[in-house]
Structure 1
Amino acid sequence: MNYQYPCWLGARIFLTSILLVISACSPGGNDGDQDWAMYGRDAGEQRFATLDQINAGNVDQLGVAWYADIEARSLRGVEATPIVVGGVMYVSGPWSVVMAVNAETGEQLWAFDPEVPGATTRKVCCDVVNRGVAVSNGKVLVATLDGRLIALDAQSGEVAWSVVTVDQTKSYSITGAPRVVGDLVIIGNSGAEYGVRGFVTAYQVSNGKQAWRFYTVPGNPADGFENEAMAKAAETWNGEWWKYGGGGTVWDSMAYDPDLDLLYIGVGNGSPWNVSIRSPGGGDNLYLSSIVALRPKTGEYVWHFQTTPGDQWDYTATQHMILADIKVDGQRRKVIMQAPKNGFFYVLDRETGEFISGKEYVPMTWAKGLDPKTGRPNIVPEALYSNTADAEPYLGMPSPAGGHGWQPMSYNPETGLVYFPVTELPYGYTALNADDFEFRSKGWNTGEDPSKFSMPEDPEIRKQIRSMMKGKLVAWDPVEQKQVWSVPMIVPWNGGTLSTSGGLVFQGNGVGYIAAYSAETGEKLWSHYVSTGVVAPPISYSIKGTQYISVAVGWGGILPINMGEPLKKGIPPRVNRVVTFKLGGTAVMEGVEADPLDLDPPAATASESVVNAGRVLYHTNCWMCHGDSAVNNGGVPNLRYSPVIAHADMFKAFVLGGAAEESGMPNFSGEVTPEQLEAIRAYVIKRANDLKENPDMP
């Protein structure tokens, strides 16, 4: 559905390209308008608003200015950063839907649904999310879950052009936000766990014509290499990695330095995780888990820094990167900062890629410090689990969710601190023998042993492991490489951050609140319930002298779906919306309640051998959406509560018959036999009865 703008809004959209430049360089203050025109507000992605109308002295007077629901085919995770240009907010939601609203009132102007096929969920590891749009030259640019890049007319929402950016016969997907540099729009993709080869591509904003493509890992040497960077990278790989894709997808973070004319991309993990399968004999496997600097006009390689050589823990370097100028040893340096999944906070020279400093920001078991000259990690031998395929799982920290996930950080140049959410979460890494690995074109290919995967069933052991799972908001000094303050969170999965000239840090959390903290001390100064868990980062903008704080809310993402165990019991309330605040706001927000869940499973009558077989099959085919050990707190059904498990024919209709494929439940016909399906059902019934007998478990 589409809605036309009033004339005055149409005129403002006509000046979008000018507003983008002004907003990126805005000096701040409380008069006039200040946009949030880029994903990280500025090209260096600092996520720092120079507005101070809302400050530590009056933040407790914040109230709801307006809210607007995001309409999609199902209530799933919302991870988008809203973009505000010329009084209009553009925000994306689940299934890559986009809507435009009046940023002063919340009135919807138009909405766009790219109609992503439901079967695309077979290619998606971590919910049907979208992290945001870009706005340039009167166009709203959105990348869709099924791999398209679409330009919408900013005034009407009509499609201006659309291009397919990936090979849709393979398991590529896109959840990240595009970035605009000059007249080019740049987008990466996801799918490393499924066995794809990563790359990033630039297209002309005006017409969608491809300008360049940079691959992040080498392909088959027999086909030749695209450039010298790929030839050099191939020297760090072994075996026949290209048969499994290699991975290295650029699924989120980018930043741009206009003075150096360098584009920085964050590169993801390898495929499979298990390096003994991916690259027998080891090797650094460039450019996995690396920050890579490119020339944005040509895609030419300039430099790289690898945070996790030979990565086998899913320690991506796709987490948010921030550009800043800070004093190091008394000299001002142009730096790039990142807290990737591996648990170290890095400060690099952004002109050369030189390692400046690094320090662990969460407890870790995989490495003991970094080489002070090179930044290379000192990996402990027991962490190399791929060398011991017959051993028990290696309990690693951080987990694949990372010490810091995708949720954006923010940097306040006035305090000199970086603010970001952290997660302390253990994970049992396992390894298949290479001879037992079978590549699956429609499934995860991590090279792990599904017979050993999942939390232990002993309730006491599960309780002990859960006690290790923590989340907190951290203020980090990048010069001294130390934590200045932290705030503990109730659950380990929480939102990104915003910092402002008002001396504040804003963050949403997993139990449904957005809060404001003192940027200096971490003292909580204000909070407001927004009806559902928050994982997206807030933004701030001003219109007609009024400052607003806005956040897109909707519980979901990888941890609620894949790893429900560390989250609170039951399903939190679910709603997808944008909530916007201002001083003295009096709007009343319609509340939501969690759907009641009735636990009434059929009796567990299957034999132990059938249940065990079902557990392996479940963790081979189902866990990535329905959760480890059938514990799910995301937007897909918690199978233990589902009435469908009591009826074999109905269960079969969903799993093998495609009864709910358009809603996102894939059709496994031809991949799972009816006999195997019954074993999976028996395992889920067993887990439901476990919960019935022990209600204290999640």
Structure 2
Amino acid sequence: MLNRSPISALAMLLAVPALVALSGCADKAPEPSGVTHQRLVNSAAEPQNWFGYGGDYGEQHFSTLDQINSDNVDQLGLAWSFKYDLDRVVQGIPVVADGVMYTTSAFSIVHALDAVTGELLWKYDPEVFKAVAGTGCCDAANRGVALLNDKVFVGVYDGRLEALDAATGELVWSVDTVIDAERNYTISGAPRVVKDKVIIGNGGGEYGVRGYITAYDANTGEMAWRFYTVPGDPSLPPEDAAMAMAQKTWFGDSYWEQGGGGTVWDSMAYDPELDLFYIGVGNGSLWNYKERSEAKGDNLFLSSIVALRPDTGEYVWHYQTTPGDAWDYTATQTITVATLPIDGEPRRVVMQAPKNGFFYVIDAATGELISAEKFGYVTWAKGVDPETGRPIVDNDAANYWESGEGKVVFPGSQGAHNWNPMSYSPITGLVYIPQQVTLEHFVPLPSDEIVKPSKYDLNIGMVVPVVPETPEEIAQLHQIYRGKLQAWDPIKQQEVWSHPHDHIANGGTLATAGNLVFQGTADGRFVAYAADSGEKLWEVPVSSGVGAGPMTYEVDGEQYVAINVGYGGSFGITFGALSQLTKVLPDSRLYVFKLQGDQPLPEFKRRTIEMPPLIEPRGDQASLENGERLYGLRCAACHGLSAISGGLLPDLRMLTQEKHDMYLGTLMGALQQNGMPSFAGRLSVEEMTDIQNYLIKRSHDLREELKEAGFDSE
């Protein structure tokens, strides 16, 4: 069984949801209508609604609403805001149907709100056992819900898929999507619905899982089909023809023990014209190509777009963006379906700007590559061969597995574009990408140091990445790690305009027929640009960093623009040395704007540092070095590389004497209910002490840094 709280398990057993329904609200609340499959197919006829994560089945993140436009966007003001209970990562895009908004916050909590007033209609808490967040990738995020008929569907962080009554928030059914409870499967993505099915993938690739995507009957929760993205035990018959084909592209006898990876943790899209469902597949597990597959084979379907039949899950075609992925180059970024004029003729295409830094235009019916060009700074490949569709890998620059020597490669594992959704405007013909420059020093682990996969350890076959520890080195790295909003012509395959950002991990984009592009930023701003020229037209401060994409809707003839705010995710917590420079604090809210909105903006709080009294240094050099190594393996994913927190989770360099006195008990599991996992049985007391000694050293390092910067050392 998954590691869930007794309350959560009992609630599931008795089908009693953790539901808060506001008394007296039912008579005033908008009545949700049935969001049928036909309404979803014809969503263009109802621009006042935003039915799904990307607005429509093609995931264009575009709206034909134009009441708010480039001429009057400077008159936008706050209509209302909603404060979430937990100040933690918020990545979801709200959906709106018939005046009711449905949105999620950290740990998969679902809220139904009046879309005009922001009044809470109901709240559903799936009661995730919070310590699970310490054994999964990239924070306790959730990217939203899906609607079909009278139900709201949510993927729960611990692996459940649940259906709620849209009118009341009551639990209708719940299924556990996890195929192996000994592996650490999670869900952060939004489900998608097609016809009578709800479809969801999973995360966990960095922890050694086998990827798959599953469709369930929307009415009953019964599994309809499952498509595996990488092969399983080679001693057993493959599940289907697609897995038989994939198995021929993997080598060695250990890949299935290490899971293989290939999780479908974010992007999906559907084309009703072709009746094809597109999924984006993630990176390999291990990252290390030599250890994973003897440095041989394409390793299907890692880092691929795969087209399936939504009724059966039958494989139709695939296009692999990074064969034999060795750099965490997922193809899980936004998949956009559109019709483009290719060689003077309209052609149905899918477009993607994945982590690897190339922008792809692919025939939606066949998977044939139409074009691919670099949209970001790329050193791992020289280009894409137009004849074969394969990247031309620069082995001198990027092949670390043959020599065993580390290589500095662009992009890094954060990618030239991550999950933050891009948008496409059929009016301008441009794609708007939250682009970024990242690098990574990829260093392979020796074979004898690679651990078997577990729920608690990163399983990438690499030395855990490190970041500089001194302010001077961090500042130098920050000059490289920059982002921009990039307007990209997918036909000419070139940048048309861009706007620079001081940080990476900025929010997704929304394009509208009002000649606007909206984007939130990592440093706490919400901005509108002219879609055709890139001119900045409007900006407002929000109370935290933004990773989510915006959306827009209309009620009673008035247009609104909404954005979820709440910094976090892998950059926010793991890359604290850089994310702390955004100076934002965790403050999770939903903001909704309209023309002439007159509500006051919530206070924007800046980060402050209050150092506790120093603890005397402990441990010899061997202890400190071992503590640094163990910290990277066990702690850095949540508390920050090099023990530098981004401010979302506790900065362990600033533990008080009281916290140090509680240290061993904390690591033994005393604070699991708060989200701190237990390390009992996974770390010895001596190893825990080595980590503690390293943290005390880092607290002294921080004090010296502050002193050199001119702050009072006391």
For Structure 1 versus Structure 2, the TM-score category normalised by the shorter chain is over 0.9
Structure 1 position 316 matched with structure 2 position 316: no
Structure 1 position 301 matched with structure 2 position 315: yes
Q: Deviations over 1:501-552 (max 9, x none)?
A: 0000000001111000010111110011111111101000000110000011
The whole-number CA distance in structure 2 between the counterparts of 1:462 and 1:544 is 50
Q: Which deviates more from structure 2 when the two are superposed, residues 576-585 or residues 684-693?
A: 684-693
Structure 1 residues 516, 571: CA separation in 2 closer, same or farther (over 3 Å shift)?
closer
* Structure 1 residue 604 displacement after superposition: 3.2
Q: Which residue of 1 aligns with 2:268?
A: 254
* Structure 1 residue 458 displacement after superposition: 5.8
The whole-number CA distance in structure 2 between the counterparts of 1:127 and 1:139 is 27
Q: Which residue of 1 aligns with 2:674?
A: 663
Indicate the SS of the match to 1:207. coil
> For 1:267-282, what aligned pairs fall within 5 Å after superposition?
267-282=281-296
* Structure 1 residue 3 displacement after superposition: 2.7
The whole-number CA distance in structure 2 between the counterparts of 1:521 and 1:79 is 28
Structure 1 position 414 matched with structure 2 position 427: yes
Indicate the SS of the match to 2:417. coil
Structure 1 counterpart of 2:61, from 26, 35, 47? 47
Instruction: Supply the AA of the counterpart residue of 1:65.
Output: A
* Structure 1 residue 589 displacement after superposition: 3.1
The whole-number CA distance in structure 1 between the counterparts of 2:515 and 2:390 is 36
The answer to whether the 8 Å contact 1:574/1:592 transfers is: no
The whole-number CA distance in structure 2 between the counterparts of 1:143 and 1:372 is 38
Q: Which deviates more from structure 2 when the two are superposed, residues 679-688 or residues 48-57?
A: 679-688
Instruction: Supply the AA of the counterpart residue of 1:545.
Output: G
The answer to whether the 8 Å contact 1:149/1:163 transfers is: yes
Q: Which residue of 1 aligns with 2:17?
A: none
* Structure 1 residue 495 displacement after superposition: 0.2
The whole-number CA distance in structure 2 between the counterparts of 1:119 and 1:555 is 19
Instruction: Supply the AA of the counterpart residue of 2:666.
Output: F
* Structure 1 residue 414 displacement after superposition: 0.4
> For 1:133-144, what aligned pairs fall within 5 Å after superposition?
133-144=145-156
Q: Which residue of 1 aligns with 2:35?
A: 16
Structure 1 residues 510, 456: CA separation in 2 closer, same or farther (over 3 Å shift)?
closer
Q: Which residue of 1 aligns with 2:12?
A: none
- Identity among equivalent pairs (%): 47
Structure 2 stretches of 5 or more lacking a match?
1-19
Q: Deviations over 1:375-433 (max 9, x none)?
A: 211111131112233x2x31111111110000001000000000011111111111012
The answer to whether the 8 Å contact 1:498/1:506 transfers is: yes
Q: Which residue of 1 aligns with 2:278?
A: 264
Indicate the SS of the match to 1:13. coil
Structure 2 counterpart of 1:118, from 127, 130, 135? 130
The whole-number CA distance in structure 2 between the counterparts of 1:541 and 1:361 is 31
The answer to whether the 8 Å contact 2:542/2:604 transfers is: no
Structure 1 position 291 matched with structure 2 position 305: yes
Q: Which residue of 1 aligns with 2:52?
A: 38
TM-score by length of 1: 0.95
The whole-number CA distance in structure 1 between the counterparts of 2:274 and 2:168 is 36
Q: Which residue of 2 aligns with 1:387?
A: 402
The whole-number CA distance in structure 2 between the counterparts of 1:122 and 1:439 is 18
The answer to whether the 8 Å contact 1:515/1:526 transfers is: yes
Structure 1 residues 126, 544: CA separation in 2 closer, same or farther (over 3 Å shift)?
same
The whole-number CA distance in structure 1 between the counterparts of 2:572 and 2:701 is 20
* Structure 1 residue 594 displacement after superposition: 4.5
Structure 1 counterpart of 2:661, from 627, 649, 660? 649
Q: Which residue of 2 aligns with 1:31?
A: none
Instruction: Supply the AA of the counterpart residue of 2:245.
Output: K
The whole-number CA distance in structure 2 between the counterparts of 1:23 and 1:332 is 20
Instruction: Supply the AA of the counterpart residue of 1:342.
Output: N
Q: Which residue of 2 aligns with 1:334?
A: 348
The whole-number CA distance in structure 2 between the counterparts of 1:457 and 1:579 is 36
The answer to whether the 8 Å contact 1:466/1:565 transfers is: no
Q: Which residue of 2 aligns with 1:6?
A: 26
The answer to whether the 8 Å contact 2:250/2:293 transfers is: yes
Q: Deviations over 1:86-138 (max 9, x none)?
A: 10000001000000000000000000100011231243110000000001111
Structure 1 residues 324, 217: CA separation in 2 closer, same or farther (over 3 Å shift)?
same
Instruction: Supply the AA of the counterpart residue of 1:6.
Output: A
Instruction: Supply the AA of the counterpart residue of 1:684.
Output: L
Q: Deviations over 1:65-85 (max 9, x none)?
A: 01111224xx21100010100
Q: Which residue of 2 aligns with 1:514?
A: 526
TM-score by length of 2: 0.93
The whole-number CA distance in structure 2 between the counterparts of 1:505 and 1:681 is 47
Structure 2 counterpart of 1:70, from 84, 87, 99? 84
> For 1:183-582, what aligned pairs fall within 5 Å after superposition?
183-240=196-253, 241-382=255-396, 383-389=398-404, 391=405, 393-441=406-454, 442-450=456-464, 453-457=465-469, 460-569=472-581, 572-582=584-594
The answer to whether the 8 Å contact 1:347/1:358 transfers is: yes
Structure 1 counterpart of 2:175, from 163, 185, 207? 163
The whole-number CA distance in structure 1 between the counterparts of 2:167 and 2:448 is 57
Indicate the SS of the match to 1:679. helix
Indicate the SS of the match to 1:567. helix
The answer to whether the 8 Å contact 1:3/1:156 transfers is: no
Instruction: Supply the AA of the counterpart residue of 1:688.
Output: S
Q: Which residue of 2 aligns with 1:682?
A: 693
The whole-number CA distance in structure 2 between the counterparts of 1:458 and 1:663 is 31
Q: Which deviates more from structure 2 when the two are superposed, residues 674-683 or residues 196-205?
A: 674-683
The whole-number CA distance in structure 2 between the counterparts of 1:545 and 1:168 is 49
The answer to whether the 8 Å contact 2:81/2:590 transfers is: yes
The whole-number CA distance in structure 2 between the counterparts of 1:588 and 1:637 is 30
Q: Which residue of 1 aligns with 2:597?
A: 585
The answer to whether the 8 Å contact 2:40/2:56 transfers is: no
The whole-number CA distance in structure 2 between the counterparts of 1:158 and 1:402 is 39
Q: Which deviates more from structure 2 when the two are superposed, residues 19-28 or residues 567-576?
A: 19-28
Structure 1 position 178 matched with structure 2 position 196: no
The answer to whether the 8 Å contact 1:146/1:168 transfers is: no
* Structure 1 residue 457 displacement after superposition: 4.4
Q: Which residue of 2 aligns with 1:694?
A: 705
The answer to whether the 8 Å contact 1:23/1:36 transfers is: no
Structure 1 residues 642, 593: CA separation in 2 closer, same or farther (over 3 Å shift)?
farther
Structure 1 residues 302, 472: CA separation in 2 closer, same or farther (over 3 Å shift)?
same
Structure 1 residues 518, 486: CA separation in 2 closer, same or farther (over 3 Å shift)?
same
Q: Which deviates more from structure 2 when the two are superposed, residues 262-271 or residues 121-130?
A: 121-130
The whole-number CA distance in structure 1 between the counterparts of 2:589 and 2:659 is 35
Instruction: Supply the AA of the counterpart residue of 1:385.
Output: Y
The whole-number CA distance in structure 2 between the counterparts of 1:547 and 1:14 is 20
The answer to whether the 8 Å contact 1:149/1:162 transfers is: yes
Indicate the SS of the match to 2:602. coil
The answer to whether the 8 Å contact 2:580/2:647 transfers is: no
* Structure 1 residue 468 displacement after superposition: 1.1
Instruction: Supply the AA of the counterpart residue of 1:682.
Output: N
* Structure 1 residue 220 displacement after superposition: 0.7
Q: Which deviates more from structure 2 when the two are superposed, residues 227-236 or residues 647-656?
A: 647-656
The answer to whether the 8 Å contact 2:585/2:647 transfers is: no
The answer to whether the 8 Å contact 1:247/1:268 transfers is: yes
Structure 1 residues 595, 653: CA separation in 2 closer, same or farther (over 3 Å shift)?
farther
The whole-number CA distance in structure 1 between the counterparts of 2:155 and 2:440 is 31
